[in-house]
Structure 1
């Protein structure tokens, strides 16, 4: 005579516990950051027209920032640009020259700072 083994039902409790532990793990190890966008316009063909206003030159290096050859702090850039803005009737052209060691984050920090100042026409040059 053969013995009939009755199959035991699998408990779903342990599976649910594992799923909740995984969910808790991924929620605690994830970082939630807000990504910002910086609008960049691609350069197009110019007409060769010159502006009556002399441009302001910003030289961005990894550890320094200079405005028309004078070293400036990025937090005080708005105050440094105010005298130049008061001399213009329209938009003030700002030319940003990048050095080879400048990271994308450093450029983004500068552009975010500059975008808070109204009345600027920003041009970014390639890294040298």
Structure 2
């Protein structure tokens, strides 16, 4: 009678090597983005810190920006805001969201106005 040969165990070494090479490949070929942060502050109670300058109205939609009834873009918005507050006092920026504005679009808007000092945004709900 013949003896049955037992099959040897499968070596896991080559599988671990392949997984390590794949991990190394994906780590070296991926790009790492630096995400910017946007500070969010809760609204103050009415009557506190109210400025005497009239507020600036902004209507933000998924494809356009209107600043006090003028068409603008996210690139030109800081320049227009600086021109509107030329007198130097702090101003409230009332932002109305129109239609289906994505959170990325709102974040891009907040990043664009962050470089203008003395502007406090107040975000209204979508209409």
Same fold per TM (> 0.5)? Answer: yes
- 1:113 equivalent in structure 2: 112
Indicate conservation of the 8 Å contact 1:53/1:88, yes or no: no
In structure 1, runs of 5+ residues without a counterpart are none
In structure 2, runs of 5+ residues without a counterpart are none
> TM-score, normalised to structure 1's length?
0.78
> TM-score, normalised to structure 2's length?
0.78
- 2:80 equivalent in structure 1: 80
**Rounded Cα–Cα distance in structure 2 between residues aligned with 1:92 and 1:126:** 20
Q: CA offset at residue 104 of structure 1? A: 0.6
Root-mean-square deviation over aligned CA pairs: 2.9
Indicate conservation of the 8 Å contact 1:97/1:125, yes or no: yes
SS in structure 2 at match of 1:18: helix
- 1:68 equivalent in structure 2: 68
Aligned CA distance change for structure 1 residues 122 and 16 (closer, same or farther; 3 Å) = same
- 2:39 equivalent in structure 1: 39
Aligned CA distance change for structure 1 residues 71 and 9 (closer, same or farther; 3 Å) = closer
**Rounded Cα–Cα distance in structure 2 between residues aligned with 1:126 and 1:9:** 64
Aligned pairs, how many? 127
Aligned CA distance change for structure 1 residues 33 and 49 (closer, same or farther; 3 Å) = closer
